[in-house]
């Protein structure tokens, strides 16, 4: 009979694998910054990836943002009606969408749609040896595949987040107009009266960080995939889960920093 390995050995191996993975991830990020600052820049591929990530995500972002704004307004109305403060709805929804919901909802949608797509695409290229073939043909696969995709997510997701916030406000306006008959101009005038430059700046910075995270995680998992088709599925799944986890952590950290700045 084969002897089972001691639990201390298994635990030690797990710790070693964890720190090895963290080290590999940071080396991957460092390699990205080194390659991103060197020519050639593959502008055509970056634009193509922006199209794939941005325009093809618009229908889902539009639907989700509109419903988010409408549902959040509907739920908030019940609480504000208790205090007779339904006139605060435009300000409340604007603050919620600009400060948090717009960028967070966009990041979560893109983590599921874009992150899994990048992980599966690069993973399939890795296990079918297409990446190895690119290296043989004197093409830098990291530069062409990874750098272009990470730059595309970093550029595109902030735009999608701003768009999602605007669409969410439209959904909120539809609900408010149906109950209070508030005009379009009055709704947005009241809503943006409470928005500051710091709110918009924080939202854009968060979206940039979210976009970089989604792109780098999806590329890292896909670029290092192994074990055939099972590895491709695992890479896509891990890209989504890890991206969402990091997005929530970054949301907490950036919100805390912005609050310190706001009350400084």
Q: Which sequence spans correspond to the domains of the chain?
A: 57-259
- 188 has a pLDDT exceeding 90: no
- 262 has a pLDDT exceeding 70: yes
CB 168 within 8 A of CB 106: no
Computed over every residue of the chain, the mean pLDDT equals: 86
Q: Mind listing the pLDDT tens digit for each residue in 114-144?
A: 999 999 999 999 888 888 888 788 788 899 9
- 196 has a pLDDT exceeding 90: no
- 15 has a pLDDT exceeding 50: yes
Tokens for 47?
């634009």
What pLDDT, on a 0 to 100 scale, did the predictor assign at position 46? 92
Distance of CA 15 to the CA centre of its chain: 28
Tokens for 91?
């300000």
CB 77 within 8 A of CB 177: no
d(CA 246, CA 104): 12
Q: How confident is the model over 206-213, as a mean pLDDT?
A: 94
d(CA 231, CA 61): 29
Q: Mind listing the pLDDT tens digit for each residue in 34-88?
A: 998 888 888 899 999 999 888 888 999 999 999 999 988 888 888 887 777 777 8
- 4 has a pLDDT exceeding 70: no
Q: How confident is the model over 194-210, as a mean pLDDT?
A: 90
Q: Mind listing the pLDDT tens digit for each residue in 248-260?
A: 999 999 988 888 8
Q: Which of 90-99, 155-164, 220-229 has the highest mean pLDDT?
A: 155-164
Least confident of 13-22, 56-65, 180-189: 13-22
d(CA 251, CA 207): 10
Q: How many CB atoms lie within 10 A of CB 31?
A: 14
Stated pTM of the model: 0.88
Rg (CA), the chain: 22
The dihedral formed by the CA atoms of 98, 102, 103 and 106, expressed in degrees to the nearest 10: -170
């Amino acid at each position: 009979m084969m002897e089972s390995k001691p639990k201390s050995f298994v635990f030690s191996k797990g710790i070693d694998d964890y720190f090895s993975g963290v080290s590999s991830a940071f080396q991957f990020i460092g390699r990205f910054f080194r390659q991103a600052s060197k020519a050639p820049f593959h502008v055509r591929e970056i634009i193509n990836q922006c199209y794939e990530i941005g325009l093809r995500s618009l229908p889902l972002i539009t639907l989700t943002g509109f419903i988010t704004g409408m549902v959040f307004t509907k739920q908030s109305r019940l609480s504000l009606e208790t205090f007779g403060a339904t006139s605060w709805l435009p300000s409340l929804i604007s603050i919620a969408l600009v400060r948090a919901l717009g960028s967070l909802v966009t990041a979560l949608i893109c983590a599921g749609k874009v992150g899994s797509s990048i992980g599966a695409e690069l993973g399939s290229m890795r296990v079918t040896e297409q990446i190895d073939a690119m290296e043989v043909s004197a093409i830098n696969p990291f530069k062409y595949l990874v750098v272009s995709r990470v730059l595309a997510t970093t550029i595109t997701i902030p735009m999608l987040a701003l768009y999602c916030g605007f669409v969410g406000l439209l959904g909120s306006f539809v609900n408010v107009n149906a109950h209070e008959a508030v005009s379009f101009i009055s709704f947005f005038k009241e809503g943006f009266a409470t928005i500051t430059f710091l709110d918009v700046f924080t939202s854009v910075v968060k979206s940039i960080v979210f976009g970089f995270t989604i792109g780098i995680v999806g590329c890292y998992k896909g670029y290092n995939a192994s074990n055939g088709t099972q590895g491709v599925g695992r890479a896509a799944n891990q890209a989504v889960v890890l991206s969402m986890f990091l997005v929530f952590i970054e949301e907490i950290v950036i919100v805390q920093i912005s609050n310190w700045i706001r009350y400084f």
